Structure 1
Amino acid sequence: MPAFQSAEQLLRDIGGKRERLIINYLFVNKHGRFDVLADLLEGDERFLHRMIAKSILVKRDEWLYLDDRILSFLERFLEVNEDIQNYEVDEKIGAIALNIRLFQEENAWKRKEVFLQKVKKAMSSLGRVVKRNVIDLGKQVQMDYKTEVNPKVKEIKISEHNNKAVKLRKLIEGIEDLLENRVFFQEANDEMLNRLSVELRYDYLRDAKVNLRELSQEIVGYLNRIQAMQAVHRKLQEVKRLKDLFELEKRSNVEALIQQQQGLFFAPRLFISTPPSLEFLRSDQGHAIISKVANKLRHRARQNSSKSGVMAKKALDTTAVKEARINYFKLQQEFFKGDTDLFQFLLAFPFETNGSLEDRVKIFCKMALMYEDRMFFTGITEVYESLRYGVILPRDPRKSKSERIENTNWLKA
């Protein structure tokens, strides 16, 4: 026997101040510990037991949840449910088709009006359900593509969303078929029915079809990217396998490729990070990591605030500071006049400020990147004070590669 015999009794038992407090807490947090909710009620545990007895709350171990019927009603009314309600669209289409058939078979007008009211009731909410499904489906596609780490799981989720989009498109076609039943609309001759038909066709279905078409193209693009990523991942796994077996150099041309890619000499180290999934962040382990990161941020903020006083004092110091400025254009002109390598040239160059070795190394890297097209990367490395550097010479189009390399023999003498 149901716990509530009327809508008045239901509203009375869930509309109180304390009931609203508990329902709102569980709706926002999805669940809550029994002792935490009791503290919200100032220790009144009997009140929670009464809500459990009336099937407003459900208790599992030490956790309390809203009853699925109340939770589903709130999610659907507020349109915050993440589930795609294709089954609801299918059921409404079936109800409309059934009542149209009963309307046409019935001869008594009073009974025909009953079936007509059921058709209008289903049509009045059908458009909103279709629109909400299209929006929720688009959000879930983007969410799973951006947050899911496992490529295979990501592909399965996106493919399932694609199946839902195809199903929803077929359901929209079924709705359009029902709206083409001119015999029914002429026999009903109802102004409200005609208005609902126009709103459903032009305010909901037309926009839903356009959005679904764009979403399908987006899904196809996502699936193609995922497959490309999986191909690269498989290739990297094969490379790692060969490397672990010490067969990479023997069974591939990796050495030749690396020698051709001179830019790798100056390339920074890549750090690839992937965002954690929302499911992980909602778990206890994810909550612990979030708390740890928050503590670090608070500690960093306190350090910055303590340094602000020191920085303010330094800002009051009006002593002029002479900034070393380097004219890279003139510097590279001087370099291309000679035949020495770039590193030795920079070591011997008389800068206005006696730059340290670290500063000269930074200038060396910056010039190699700025004038890469005018320089010749020999592939030879030398050592200066335990620092290994690449030998870079001015590019002379009149000399062959072997002649340019011969110019570096004096380095090995």
Structure 2
Amino acid sequence: MSYIASLKELINTLTQSKDLMVEMFEKRKSFLYRYDDAAELLSEDKIEVLISKHILRRNGPYVEIDDLYQQFFEQVLEVNEEINTSYIHENIQQVKQHINFYLQENNEHRRYTYLKQIKAALRKIGRITLRNVIDLNRNIENAFKTEPNYSIKIARLDAFDEKRRAVYLLIEQTDRLAADEEITFFTTALDEELKQVVTQLRGQLTESRHNLIETQKQIIEYLNQVKHQSRIQEKIKQVKYLKDQFELKAKTNITRLLQQSNDVLFESRPTYPLKLSLDYLQSDEGNENIKRVAAKLQQHKRPAQLVAESIASKDMLPQTEEEIFIDLEEIKRGFAASSHHLHNYIMQYKYPREVTYEEKITIFCQMVSMYEQELNIKNIFQTDEQVEYAMVVAK
């Protein structure tokens, strides 16, 4: 078991296996990736190196990216669907701790180190908060549209609502931290970059807060729709059960409700033609309207179909088209009696018609496919400057 000793070693290892890592990462949610499929993209020795360095993890016939590296890739590429509020809370606590260290420290170099860590943590808070809000909205929409089970759908939406409240509380906590709780630090730390970081953070918090308000409205709307659909589904199930038991009329008032219903949704809408006066039709405006209607009617007219000319008597006479057939069975018998290998024999064979190079290659492939049991296909390859082919001889 070996481990990554340096950043240079890690980068080199990932570079050598980039094709496999990209393929596995893109298909991480589609299906389990088989070890044999991975061996087609990377040699088994290199795969074992990745496993020994805990970059990949093998599970029987399958192989997958280790959780540590998968989470790293998802966070860098911003495709992680997990709503991680604890990470924001940790950064808030880290900011508070480093602010205390900064105010107590007298050494300028160490004060600068704490200030640098504070700015990095504030940037993380803003970026992760905004990312969590985006992921939360996407997960809510996916749960509403793709989850078929109503009870599970409601439970997932309620869980996302809890996440929304947690993110909102962290936004308020961060806002208080920058505006009230640590006002001494932010006014005494004369650093231009820190001011820019705080301004950017407040903008991100404001955007996240507004998005969460819309998220709350969306969750309420989705929950109401799901609960309404669930109630309708339960009623339909009850009606179907009573119908199957032939008790629908006896135990419900459906007959009376249907008699009271006068829905005409499926009836065609009646049209009442309006007759125009002769005075209007004789006016200039009426004349223009008549021309416009006539033009529309003319457009809807089907054009007269053209009638084809009569077929000439000579075209009715039977015609024969001849094609010279290449007999593969005859080629096989001749090849069995020769001392050449198959590719050489096919290239030199005297065909009943002119045959191109591409057709000869096709004949070679057909012979190998059709008469595989009667041929000896060796693990030796040669080339004729255009294609590489296996040595095939007769048994």
TM-score by length of 2: 0.63
- Aligned pair 1:198/2:199, yes or no? yes
The answer for the alignment partner of 2:186 in structure 1 is: 185
- Counterpart amino acid of residue 40 in structure 2: D
2:2–2:52 Cα contact (<8 Å) kept: no
The answer for the alignment partner of 1:126 in structure 2 is: 125
The answer for the alignment partner of 1:259 in structure 2 is: 259
Partner SS for 2:256: helix
TM-score by length of 1: 0.61
- Counterpart amino acid of residue 254 in structure 1: I
Q: Distance in 2 between matches of 1:120 and 1:262?
A: 69
Q: How many pairs were matched up?
A: 268
- Counterpart amino acid of residue 40 in structure 1: L
- Counterpart amino acid of residue 134 in structure 1: V
- Aligned pair 1:13/2:13, yes or no? yes
239-248 or 130-139, which deviates more = 239-248
Q: Distance in 2 between matches of 1:48 and 1:12?
A: 14
Q: What are the superposed Cα offsets for residues 136-191 of structure 1, whole Å, 9 maximum, x if unpaired? A: 11111111101111111111111111111110000000110110122111222211
Deviation at 1:205, TM superposition (A): 0.8
The answer for the alignment partner of 2:240 in structure 1 is: 240
254-263 or 177-186, which deviates more = 254-263
Match runs of 1:277-296 below 5 Å: none
Q: Distance in 1 between matches of 2:2 and 2:108?
A: 36
The answer for the alignment partner of 1:358 in structure 2 is: none
- Counterpart amino acid of residue 231 in structure 1: R
- Counterpart amino acid of residue 161 in structure 2: N
Q: Distance in 1 between matches of 2:100 and 2:265?
A: 76
Q: Distance in 2 between matches of 1:106 and 1:316?
A: 96
Q: Distance in 1 between matches of 2:178 and 2:258?
A: 65
The answer for the alignment partner of 1:176 in structure 2 is: 175
Partner SS for 2:306: coil
- Counterpart amino acid of residue 27 in structure 1: F
Q: What are the superposed Cα offsets for residues 57-102 of structure 1, whole Å, 9 maximum, x if unpaired? A: 1100111111212211111111011111222111111111111122
The answer for the alignment partner of 1:224 in structure 2 is: 224
The answer for the alignment partner of 1:145 in structure 2 is: 144
Q: Distance in 2 between matches of 1:213 and 1:132?
A: 16
Alpha-carbon RMSD across the aligned residues, in angstroms, is: 2.4
Q: Distance in 2 between matches of 1:51 and 1:26?
A: 13
Deviation at 1:254, TM superposition (A): 0.7
The answer for the alignment partner of 1:49 in structure 2 is: 48
The answer for the alignment partner of 2:384 in structure 1 is: none
The answer for the alignment partner of 2:80 in structure 1 is: 81
The answer for the alignment partner of 1:25 in structure 2 is: 23
Structure 1 residues 48, 260: closer, same or farther in 2, change over 3 A? same
- Counterpart amino acid of residue 318 in structure 1: L
The answer for the alignment partner of 2:372 in structure 1 is: none
Q: What are the superposed Cα offsets for residues 261-280 of structure 1, whole Å, 9 maximum, x if unpaired? A: 3558969xxxxxxxxxxxxx
Q: What are the superposed Cα offsets for residues 331-370 of structure 1, whole Å, 9 maximum, x if unpaired? A: xxxxxxxxxxxxxxxxxxxxxxxxxxxxxxxxxxxxxxxx
Match of 1:318 among 287, 306, 316: 306
Partner SS for 1:192: helix
Partner SS for 2:63: strand
Q: Distance in 1 between matches of 2:265 and 2:193?
A: 74
Partner SS for 2:54: coil
Partner SS for 1:32: coil
Q: What are the superposed Cα offsets for residues 183-218 of structure 1, whole Å, 9 maximum, x if unpaired? A: 11122221111110011102x111111111011111
215-224 or 256-265, which deviates more = 256-265
Deviation at 1:37, TM superposition (A): 1.5
From the CA coordinates, give the structure whose radius of gyration is larger: 2
Deviation at 1:244, TM superposition (A): 3.5
Q: Distance in 1 between matches of 2:154 and 2:13?
A: 46
Deviation at 1:3, TM superposition (A): 0.7
- Counterpart amino acid of residue 102 in structure 2: F
Give the structure with the higher percent helix. 1
240-249 or 86-95, which deviates more = 240-249
Q: Distance in 2 between matches of 1:218 and 1:34?
A: 43
Deviation at 1:257, TM superposition (A): 1.8
Partner SS for 1:15: helix
- Counterpart amino acid of residue 193 in structure 1: L
Partner SS for 2:5: coil
Structure 1 residues 2, 36: closer, same or farther in 2, change over 3 A? closer
Partner SS for 2:80: coil
Structure 1 residues 149, 316: closer, same or farther in 2, change over 3 A? farther
2:101–2:114 Cα contact (<8 Å) kept: yes
Deviation at 1:317, TM superposition (A): 5.9
In structure 2, list runs of 5 or more residues that go unmatched: 268-302, 308-395
The answer for the alignment partner of 1:34 in structure 2 is: 35
Partner SS for 2:202: helix
Partner SS for 1:58: strand
In structure 1, list runs of 5 or more residues that go unmatched: 268-314, 320-413
